[in-house]
Amino acid sequence: MRHLQTVGARLALALLLVVAGVLAFVYLIVTPSLEDRLIGSRQSQAAAIAEEVAARWPSITPAYTPTNLADSYAAATNTRVRIFRVDSQSPLSLSAIADEGGGPSAQSTDQDPVARQAATSLDSERGVVTLGDRRFAEAAQPFTAKDGTYVFLVSSSIEDSLGSVDLVKHRLFISALFALAAALLLGYAGARLFARRIRRLEQAAERIASGRFDEPIVDTSPDELGQLARAFERMRQRLAGLEYARREFIANASHELRTPLFSLGGHLELLVDEDLDDDTRREFLGRMREQVDRLTKLAGELLDLSRLDAGRLRVDRDPVDLAQVTELLLEEFHALARGTGHELARDGVDGNPTGLGDQQRILQVGRALVENALKHTPAGTQVLVSASRNEDRVALSVEDDGPGISETASVHVFERFYRGDTGGRASGSGLGLAIAHELAVAMQGEIELSSEPGRTVFTFWLPAASGTSSPAIE
Ligand SMILES: Nc1ncnc2c1ncn2[C@@H]1O[C@H](COP(=O)(O)OP(=O)(O)OP(=O)(O)O)[C@@H](O)[C@H]1O
Ligand SMILES: [Mg+2]
């Protein structure tokens, strides 16, 4: 029973049933009708002869007897021709007055059913009569003359025709056996071939399910199974990529967490030493505060990333005035810029820069860009923040005249944990731009980078809120 559950067995069985059905149809419908047609054609021939004999009956003379008439037709058509006189007194009886062509062993047939039928109905009749072990197609034609009624009966043996039908049946039966065996074999072999490919895909799926993405799935055939295998292979590659990214992320995140924790632990040990003077103690506390800030920032960033990955980060789509966002950024970073020796300024507002997005998230992106411009450029660098509108998009731009980002580094700056060479300046965890980029995308915007030595511009594009643009404010 288990064998019947395989695709191979089912396919072979289906093929077998179809072939058997076709053969049964041929055997049960076609061969009987072939037999009927052959008998019918013999009867028609016999009927035509009987009619002719009846038509010649008036030419009977003492010299040309009924026997002569019957004999001439029997010999010419290779049939048995009988002529009966009908005695219509009841009960109706027939007496043969001529019987030719039947051979010496011909049985007496005064009781022939077809002739009796014709004598009764006085109309031409046809039928099949079995005499001994032979069968005959018969046709009877009645004729009413002045001196009484006659019936002309022509019988033609159908043994040879039936013999041909039997031969056809026999050969059909033998070919049917061959066809069924071939169908079974072909169906099973074909299905086994498919089953093997399906099993390979099943094994590949099992491997992937158990977390092994190393073995490629190869099936170059253009059929549906080949297409399925290629879809599996694309899935394998994508999952392998995701798995790699996941492992790298965990490794990077734990490394990033460990560094400030080590530093905190070290400083705590030192603080336990009671011989420390107040200044050193304060300095250590200051450094510890920095590390706590770093850890807090990192925890926030990791939380944002996990929400972005899980698709659980909700962003609103409200009209947000980017001019107002630049103001807030300038206020927020004013003190820090002064501390790092940067010149932070607004570079004008162009058009009506009201975009669609989430105010808090837009501010978060702006903060990441301004913070980078202050953190990754040397003191004395000018940092300009501006807002503008370009047809159906609005932009928040942060520009600095620092050393710029090399072409190789600019390919990677939006990747998670990527940190460029900041020339010894303070460096974060490399998550700021990655999060900013994903937030921009979540708000249906993007961040563009254009950098050359002496000029770096990060432009954060957002869809504009509907409403016409107005002339520049400033
Ligand atoms: N304005 C800039 N000028 C020069 N280099 C920059 C500038 N902005 C970013 N970078 C480079 O891009 C890298 C990635 O920036 P990103 O904000 O993602 O990380 P980070 O600032 O190092 O850390 P985090 O933002 O997580 O504290 C930085 O390490 C820096 O090398
Ligand atoms: Mg940063």
| pLDDT tens per residue across span 310-350 | 888 889 999 999 999 999 999 999 999 999 999 999 987 77
Instruction: Report whether residue 427 contacts ligand 1, using a CB cutoff of 6 Å.
Output: yes
Nearest to 388 by CA among 351, 359, 357: 351
Q: Which of 413, 447, 451 to mutate to test the pocket of ligand 1 (most atoms within 8 A of CB)?
A: 413
Tokens matching residue 308? 């972005």
Instruction: Report the nearest-CA residue for atom 2 of ligand 1.
Output: 373
Q: What pLDDT sits at residue 470?
A: 41
Residues of the chain with pLDDT under 50: 468-474
Instruction: Report whether residue 142 contacts ligand 1, using a CB cutoff of 6 Å.
Output: no
Q: Is 225 exposed, middle or buried (0-12, 13-18, 19+ CB in 10 A)?
A: middle
Q: What pLDDT sits at residue 4?
A: 64
The amino acid occupying position 82 is R
Q: What pLDDT sits at residue 429?
A: 86
11 Cβ contact partners less than 8 Å away, ≥ 6 residues apart? 187, 188, 190, 191, 194
Helical pair 31-56 and 159-209, crossing angle rounded to 10 deg: 160
Give the Cα separation of 212 and 70 in Å (integer): 96
Instruction: Report whether residue 425 contacts ligand 1, using a CB cutoff of 6 Å.
Output: no
Taken as a whole, the chain contains a residue count of 474
Q: What pLDDT sits at residue 186?
A: 85
Cβ-contact 151, 86 below 8 angstroms: yes
Ligand with an atom nearest the CA of residue 419: 1
Cβ-contact 385, 373 below 8 angstroms: no
Ligand with an atom nearest the CA of residue 456: 1
Q: What pLDDT sits at residue 107?
A: 67
Ligand 2 center–CA 368 separation, angstroms: 5
Give the whole-number percent of the chain exceeding pLDDT 90: 51
Q: What pLDDT sits at residue 291?
A: 92
Q: What pLDDT sits at residue 426?
A: 56
317 Cβ contact partners less than 8 Å away, ≥ 6 residues apart? 356, 357, 358, 443
191-219 pLDDT per residue, tens: 888 888 888 999 999 999 998 988 898 88
Instruction: Report whether residue 352 contacts ligand 1, using a CB cutoff of 6 Å.
Output: no
Q: What pLDDT sits at residue 270?
A: 87
Give the Cα separation of 438 and 455 in Å (integer): 24
